[in-house]
């Protein structure tokens, strides 16, 4: 198997397994663990197998095209440093899986846990193996998202939800900064490929954008690694199940930040700005984390703050900018992962066995948990930096670097003192952890009787502690080669000489270690009183909670300010919103007008035609009166609206748009019928005296303001259309359509060819909208019962009925029966004529004005005329129209024509045309577009008729008020 395949398997396997894990049954705890374990073993095995290829600066690289248009490739790249991380991720992942198998209770939803866990492993591997910096940012965000899910795993728990949300907000925001940062790097370097980026360190450091780029990348790294002042999410993330904490906060999630710092170290480090930001953040985190850790009462809280402190140590080492510092940093990354993972697991066992993590309640556990106690003690000693353990070695290297002179600044000068102080603090909290939990009298009042956990649960700790010991005693032959390959891959030829031996003779760093150890013990003894008081948190800083500041900030930003803004600008009424919208559009439209220095070209004011002008004047008058009458005289308004529509229609005829004129005319007819049908069921004119309120001044003012706004908008539009008309036409895509309509579309009516051929997909979408509307209306009206006020007979019918009643020889209803009898007969006779007209319009559509839509509307007008002439019951007794079927067939035809072209290997809706010899008629062009048009025709008929019939049926329905109220007494069987 070549290296490339191994890389992609390492990356993809966890994601695929995560998918499978998510679908396993709730009770499959063992299967899940086996699945996750096997994935981790394969990943670990493949990584180990790749080791010979990454020594001495070797790189395994695999590349696939990702977005070639942007020059982006999906690159997997493993060098010595990425290898080290891969082994940490898969190796510690394997141990955590084993541990989690025993930690998770059978009542927990394990599929979710293992699915997220595996996805996290995959995201983390993707991050460290990325050979493209954009891809790296993507996996980076993926780790944030999956860690959110893992931290919030027990989502019934409010603290888990809060902790998860906080972690996501902070690391996610950092991730966005990182994304912008890598985009800037890509801009500076001209490539997103990691190898290219790593080779252009000087270009980046000398660029003008170096400072913003650095700050953005650092924001990403420092938030992820929980560096001060972004550290506070980490302690709250302890609400996660302990295996998650052991994994995320030892080897993976928080290490991603320092991974990134080391990755970009060769190209970004070494400047004053780097030292200032990274060094200061690291140093303050180192000290504050250690100080806070001393005063935690929660076991995991102590470990969380100690993690923050150790990450601060690593960050400080990276910030120094010296190659030796980097070696120490990488070394400490590994050491910290081993002892911290084991400590988290030990804390989890204690929690599991006693039911509490509160150190105030824990005591004397060494008798009940002798083996766990021993393991935890060794791991804590490593954390404290006791000789013969791995923590001691990297801490010595840190002290050595601390006393070196780097920049000579105040920060640099204070380094040895701060380092020693932090060393003391770490001794204090390690000591406290051991002394408080395992020594002293037996704990009382525990929920459970503690005893040693199953051996398999303890095995991961044993292995990790063993690693601490071996590395601590014989570092040169255990970790040495791997560390060397990792360091070489980052530093290349700059790799300094370093020694991993335990004994360097009596020197200043050793003295600092001794001071730290002794001082730590003394401080612990001095703090006994304060610590035994059981107060959570350190003196002085106790009340300064990062979480509270964060929450206040969030509440202010996303709630208070938003609420204030809503109060200021928001409204619960429709009209102000519309007014705002129109005002904004007006402003937006004015902007280009002023910027482009618009001046109307009045010289074009020629060719005044009295005929046109009169017609348009009529149109405007119609519109104005329609608007004026809209409130009280709806029928008048409706007629005048029709007039305005007709003027539009004539304008289309006059200016060479026969298709538009035809369609507009037909749609006007249907719309008018529709409103007439609808008005019957809408409230009548509001002229009842109690309903007409005298217009107050406010109302009048409001109406004038609206009118003013409308006039300004109208004048603007008028100016716009005038400006457009008086400028020469530019060469648009129209030429393309004109030239190809006949030669490629096979039709002479260019507009129709555009609709059914060139832009056929748009038309398909449009008729689907029509069908959707028709069906929606059908559903809306299916159970509709008219309002009680509209139930009575219309006024005209009432007058006719009264007339009938007065005449001795007439019965009520006679006039109605004879009403408009002659027009009715004519309408019925016209039916076949209209159908033929519709066919005619349909068939000529490709060549001359017409087409499926116009034909469809015509056909539906034919149907609705029958309804008007004969009444609903009469038509339905004689004609069976099934509009839903028409819609269905129409969609099938239109869509089917499109799909048919894909069957022949052409894109969707490609049309085909051919001439056909038809007897008697001669050569006829036959285009597949005609079939498409047929679909449109059928659909339009169906949709329009469905809408109109749904409305017409209202008069047949028994009205709402006619539903008799239920009798209150015993229900008789008389009905």
Partner 1 sequence: MDVAIALLVGAFMTLGIFLMLSRSVIRMLLGLALLGNGINLLIFVSGRLSREAPPIVPPGAYVPEGAIANPLPQALILTAIVIGFAMFAYLLILGMRAYQSLDADHTDTMRLAEPEDGPRPPLSY
Q: Find the farthest-apart pair of alpha carbons in the chain and give their distance in angstroms, rounded.
A: 134
Task: Supply the minimum distance, in Å, between the C-beta of residue 954 and partner 1.
Answer: 9
Judged by beta carbon, residue 391 or residue 619, the one nearer partner 1 is 619
Residues in the chain: 975
Binding mask 802-841 for partner 1 (x = CB under 8 A): ----------------------------------------
Q: Is 176 exposed, middle or buried (0-12, 13-18, 19+ CB in 10 A)?
A: middle
Is the Cα dihedral 178, 184, 190, 195 positive or negative? negative
Residues in Cβ contact with 335 at an 8 Å cutoff, skipping those fewer than 6 apart: 382, 390, 391, 393, 394, 468, 471
Spatial distance between the Cα atoms of 340 and 330, rounded to a whole number of angstroms: 15
Dist. CA 677–CA 592, nearest whole Å: 44
* Binding residues among 551-580 for partner 1 as defined by CB under 8 A: 551, 554-555, 558-559, 563, 572-575, 578-579
Choose between 410 and 606: whose C-beta lies nearer to partner 1. Answer: 606
Q: What angle do CA 126, 127, 129 make, to 5 degrees?
A: 65
- Examine residue 674 and tell whether it contacts partner 1 (CB under 8 A): yes
**CA quadruple 168, 133, 57, 12: dihedral sign:** positive
Report the residue from 30, 532, 721, 807 that binds partner 1 according to the rule CB under 8 A. 721
| Binders in 687-716 for partner 1, by CB under 8 A | 706-707, 709-711, 713-716
- Spell 709-728 as b/e; 16+ CB within 10 A means b: eeeeeeeeeeeeeebeeeee
Tell whether residue 845 is a contact of partner 1 (CB under 8 A). Answer: no
Distances (CA, A) of 620 to 613, 647, 665: 10, 9, 18
223-242 positions binding partner 1, by CB under 8 A: none
Q: Tell whether residue 130 is a contact of partner 1 (CB under 8 A).
A: no
Output the smallest distance, CB 772 to partner 1, in A.
Answer: 8
**In Å, what is the CA distance from 142 to each residue of 131, 145, 168, 558?**
16, 5, 11, 24
* Cα angle for residues 340, 341, 347 (degrees, 5° grid): 85
Q: Does 526 bind partner 1 (CB under 8 A)?
A: no
Exactly one of 418, 657, 801, 816 binds partner 1 (CB under 8 A); that residue is: 657
Find the binder of partner 1 among 442, 494, 609, 802 (CB under 8 A): 609
CA 536, 537, 541, 544 dihedral sign is: negative
Q: Which of 444, 588, 698, 729 binds partner 1 (CB under 8 A)?
A: 729
Q: Least distance from C-beta 547 to partner 1, angstroms? A: 13
**Residues 850-869, interacting with partner 1 (CB under 8 A):** 853
CA dihedral (341, 344, 346, 349) positive or negative: negative
Q: 499 in the Ramachandran plot: left (φ > 0), alpha (ψ -120 to 50) or beta?
A: beta
The dihedral through the CA atoms of 311, 317, 320, 322 has a sign that is negative
Least Å from the CB of residue 303 to partner 1: 29
CA distance 205 to 209: 9
718-to-402, 424, 580, 736 alpha-carbon distances in Å:
76, 80, 21, 30
Q: Which residues lie across from 926 on neighbouring strands?
A: 914
Min. distance of Cβ 925 from partner 1 in angstroms?
A: 12
Q: Which stretch binds partner 1 (CB under 8 A): 80-88, 172-180, 656-664, 822-830?
A: 656-664
* Of residues 422 and 909, the one with the C-beta less far from partner 1: 909
Q: Is 626 in the site for partner 1 (CB under 8 A)?
A: yes
For residue 75, the surrounding DSSP H or E stretch is: strand 72-78
The answer to the question of residue 664 lying near partner 1 (CB under 8 A) is: yes
Cα-Cα-Cα-Cα dihedral sign, residues 473, 475, 476, 477? positive
> Footprint of partner 1 on residues 18-47 (CB under 8 A)?
none
Q: Is 871 exposed, middle or buried (0-12, 13-18, 19+ CB in 10 A)?
A: middle
| Three-state SS at 226 | coil
- Select 155 or 563, whichever has its Cβ closest to partner 1: 563
Instruction: Please tell me whether residue 670 binds partner 1 under the rule CB under 8 A.
Output: yes
> 648 and 660 in contact (C-beta within 8 Å)?
no
Interface residue with partner 1, options 725, 799, 899, 956 (CB under 8 A): 725
Q: Considering only 329-337, 339-347, 662-670, 829-837, which stretch makes contact with partner 1 by CB under 8 A?
A: 662-670
Measured from the CB atom, is 597 or 783 closer to partner 1? Answer: 783
Is residue 640 within 8 A of residue 625, CB to CB? The reply is yes
720 scored as a contact of partner 1 (CB under 8 A): yes
Of the candidates 213, 223, 372, 763, which one interacts with partner 1 according to CB under 8 A? 763
Assess 16 for contact with partner 1 (CB under 8 A).
no
473 binds partner 1 (CB under 8 A): no
| Minimum separation from the CB atom of position 839 to partner 1 (A) | 20
Cβ closest to partner 1, residue 425 vs residue 652: 652
Q: Is 751 in the site for partner 1 (CB under 8 A)?
A: yes
CA–CA gap between residue 674 and residue 669 (Å, rounded): 9
587 lines the binding site for partner 1 (CB under 8 A): no
CA distance 407 to 269: 13
Stretch that binds partner 1, among 93-101, 117-125, 396-404, 620-628 (CB under 8 A): 620-628
Taking CB under 8 A as the binding criterion, the range among 367-375, 427-435, 844-852, 893-901 that sits at the site for partner 1 is 844-852
Degrees, nearest 5: CA angle 95-99-101: 120
Q: How far is the CB of 490 from partner 1 (least distance, A)?
A: 43
Nearer residue to partner 1 within complex by CB, 770 or 875: 770
Site for partner 1 (CB under 8 A): which residue of 698, 724, 920, 971? Answer: 724
Q: Is 159 in the site for partner 1 (CB under 8 A)?
A: no
| Given 271, 478, 648, 955, the residue binding partner 1 (CB under 8 A) | 648
Instruction: Considering only residues 947 through 966, tell me which ones interact with partner 1, judged by CB under 8 A.
Output: 947, 950-951, 960
Q: Quote the least distance from Cβ 866 to partner 1, whole Å.
A: 20
Is residue 737 involved in binding partner 1 (CB under 8 A)?
A: yes
Q: Which is nearer to partner 1, 711 or 805 (CB)?
A: 711
The yes or no reply on residue 945 touching partner 1 (CB under 8 A) is no
768-797 positions binding partner 1, by CB under 8 A: 769-770, 773-774, 776-777, 780-781, 784-787
Q: Which of 315, 489, 663, 858 binds partner 1 (CB under 8 A)?
A: 663
Out of 370, 440, 492, 678, the only residue in the binding site for partner 1 (CB under 8 A) is 678
Query: How many whole angstroms separate alpha carbon 759 and alpha carbon 182?
Result: 41
- Contact status, residue 945 vs residue 883, Cβ threshold 8 Å: yes
Check the CA dihedral 644-649-650-654 and report its sign: positive
Q: Which residues, in sequence order, are CB contacts of 517 under 8 Å at separation 6+?
A: 384, 385, 386, 423, 427
Q: How far is the CB of 757 from partner 1 (least distance, A)?
A: 11
User: What residues numbered 628-647 form the site for partner 1, per CB under 8 A?
Assistant: 630-631, 634, 637-638, 641, 644-645, 647
Q: Give how many residues touch partner 1 by CB under 8 A.
A: 118
Half-sphere exposure of 91 (CA within 13 A, CB side): 19
Q: Are 482 and 500 in contact (CB under 8 A)?
A: no
The residue range among 27-35, 289-297, 717-725, 798-806 that interacts with partner 1, by the rule CB under 8 A, is: 717-725
849 binds partner 1, rule: CB under 8 A: yes
CA distance 774 to 951: 11
Q: Is 785 helix (H, G, I), strand (E, B) or coil?
A: coil
Per CB under 8 A, contacts with partner 1 among 434-463 are none
* Among 16, 518, 682, 793, contact with partner 1 (rule: CB under 8 A): 682
CB of 171 to partner 1, least distance (A): 20
Q: Is 211 helix (H, G, I), strand (E, B) or coil?
A: helix
Binding status of residue 750 toward partner 1 by CB under 8 A: yes
The C-alpha atoms of residue 578 and residue 601 are separated, in whole angstroms, by 33
What are 61's strand-pairing partners? Answer: 77
């Amino acid at each position: 198997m070549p290296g490339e395949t191994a890389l992609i398997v390492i990356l993809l396997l966890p994601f695929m397994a995560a998918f499978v894990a998510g679908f396993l049954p709730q009770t499959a705890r063992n299967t899940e663990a086996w699945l996750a374990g096997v994935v981790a073993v394969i990943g670990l095995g493949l990584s180990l197998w790749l080791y010979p290829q990454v020594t001495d600066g070797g790189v395994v690289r695999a590349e696939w095209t990702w977005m070639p248009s942007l020059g982006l490739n999906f690159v997997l790249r493993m060098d010595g440093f990425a290898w080290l991380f891969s082994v940490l991720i898969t190796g510690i992942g394997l141990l955590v899986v084993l541990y989690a198998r025993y930690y998770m209770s059978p009542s927990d939803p394990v599929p979710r846990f293992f699915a997220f866990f595996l996805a996290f492993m995959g995201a983390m591997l993707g991050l460290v193996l990325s050979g493209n910096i954009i891809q790296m940012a993507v996996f980076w965000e993926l780790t944030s998202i999956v860690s959110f899910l893992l931290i919030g795993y027990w989502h019934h728990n409010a603290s888990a939800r809060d902790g998860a949300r906080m972690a996501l907000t902070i690391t996610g925001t950092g991730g966005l900064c990182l994304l912008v940062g890598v985009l800037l790097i890509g801009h500076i370097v001209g490539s997103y490929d990691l190898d290219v980026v790593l080779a252009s360190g000087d270009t980046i450091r000398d660029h003008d954008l170096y400072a913003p780029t650095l700050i953005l990348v650092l924001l990403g790294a420092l938030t992820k690694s929980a560096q001060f002042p972004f550290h506070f999410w980490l302690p709250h993330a302890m609400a996660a199940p302990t295996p998650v904490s052991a994994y995320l906060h030892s080897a993976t999630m928080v290490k991603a930040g320092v991974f990134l710092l080391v990755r970009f170290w060769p190209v970004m480090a070494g400047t004053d700005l780097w030292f200032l930001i990274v060094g200061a953040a690291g140093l303050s985190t180192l000290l504050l984390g250690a100080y806070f850790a001393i005063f935690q009462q929660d076991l995991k809280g102590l470990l969380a703050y100690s993690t923050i402190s150790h990450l601060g140590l690593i960050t400080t080492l990276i910030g120094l900018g010296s190659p030796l510092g980097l070696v120490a940093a990488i070394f400490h990354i590994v050491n910290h992962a081993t002892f911290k993972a084991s400590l988290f697991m030990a804390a989890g066992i204690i929690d599991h066995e006693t039911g509490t993590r509160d150190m105030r309640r824990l005591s004397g556990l060494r008798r009940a948990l002798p083996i766990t106690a021993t393991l935890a003690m060794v791991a804590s000693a490593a954390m404290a930096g006791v000789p013969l353990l791995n923590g001691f070695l990297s801490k010595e290297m840190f002290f050595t670097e601390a006393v070196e002179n780097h920049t000579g600044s105040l920060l640099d000068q204070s380094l040895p003192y701060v380092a020693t102080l932090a060393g003391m603090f770490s001794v204090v909290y390690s000591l406290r952890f051991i002394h408080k939990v395992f020594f002293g009298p037996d704990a009382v009042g525990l929920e459970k009787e503690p005893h040693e956990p199953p051996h398999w649960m303890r095995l991961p700790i044993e292995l990790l502690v063993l690693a601490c010991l071996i590395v601590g005693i014989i570092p040169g032959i255990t970790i040495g080669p791997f560390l060397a390959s990792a360091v070489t891959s980052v530093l290349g030829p700059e790799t300094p000489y370093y020694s991993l031996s335990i004994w360097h003779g009596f020197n200043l760093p050793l003295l600092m270690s001794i001071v730290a150890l002794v001082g730590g013990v003394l401080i612990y003894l001095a703090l006994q009183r304060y610590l035994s008081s059981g107060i959570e948190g350190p003196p002085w800083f106790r009340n300064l909670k990062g979480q509270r500041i964060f929450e206040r900030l969030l509440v202010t930003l996303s709630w208070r300010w938003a609420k204030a803004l809503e109060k200021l600008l928001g409204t619960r009424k429709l009209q102000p919103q519309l007014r705002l919208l129109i005002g904004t559009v007006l402003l937006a439209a004015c902007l280009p007008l002023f910027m482009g220095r618009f001046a109307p070209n009045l010289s074009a004011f020629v060719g005044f035609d009295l005929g046109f002008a009169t017609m348009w004047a009529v149109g405007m008058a119609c519109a104005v009166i329609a608007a004026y009458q809209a409130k009280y005289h709806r029928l008048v308004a409706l007629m005048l609206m029709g007039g305005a529509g007709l003027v539009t229609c004539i304008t289309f005829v006059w200016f060479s748009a026969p298709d538009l004129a035809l369609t507009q005319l037909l749609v006007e007819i249907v719309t008018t019928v529709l409103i007439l049908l609808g008005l019957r069921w809408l409230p009548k004119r509001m002229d009842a005296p109690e309903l007409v309120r005298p217009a107050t001044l406010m109302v009048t003012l409001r109406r004038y303001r609206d009118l003013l706004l409308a006039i300004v908008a109208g004048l603007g539009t008028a100016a716009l259309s005038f400006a457009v008309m008086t400028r020469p036409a530019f060469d648009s895509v129209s030429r393309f359509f004109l030239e190809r309509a006949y030669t490629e579309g096979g039709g002479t009516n260019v507009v129709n060819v555009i609709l059914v051929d060139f832009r056929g997909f748009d038309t398909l979408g449009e008729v689907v909208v029509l069908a959707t509307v028709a069906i929606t209306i059908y559903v809306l009206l299916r159970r509709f019962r008219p309002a009680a006020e509209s139930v009575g007979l219309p006024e005209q019918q009432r007058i006719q009925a009264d007339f009938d009643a007065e005449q001795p020889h007439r019965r009520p209803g006679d006039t109605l029966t004879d009403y408009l009898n002659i027009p009715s007969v004519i309408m019925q006779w016209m039916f076949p004529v209209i159908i033929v007209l519709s066919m005619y319009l349909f068939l000529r559509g490709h060549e001359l004005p017409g087409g499926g839509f116009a034909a469809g509307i015509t056909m539906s007008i034919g149907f609705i005329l029958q309804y008007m002439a004969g009444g609903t019951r009469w038509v339905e007794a004689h004609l069976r129209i099934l509009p839903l079927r028409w819609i269905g067939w129409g969609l099938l035809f239109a869509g089917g024509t499109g799909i048919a072209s894909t069957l022949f290997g052409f894109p969707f809706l490609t049309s085909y045309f051919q001439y056909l010899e038809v007897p008697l008629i001669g050569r006829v062009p036959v285009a597949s577009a005609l079939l498409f048009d047929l679909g449109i025709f059928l659909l339009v008929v169906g949709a329009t008729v469905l809408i109109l019939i749904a409305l017409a049926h209202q008069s047949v329905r028994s009205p709402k008020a006619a539903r008799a109220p239920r009798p209150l007494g015993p229900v008789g069987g008389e009905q």
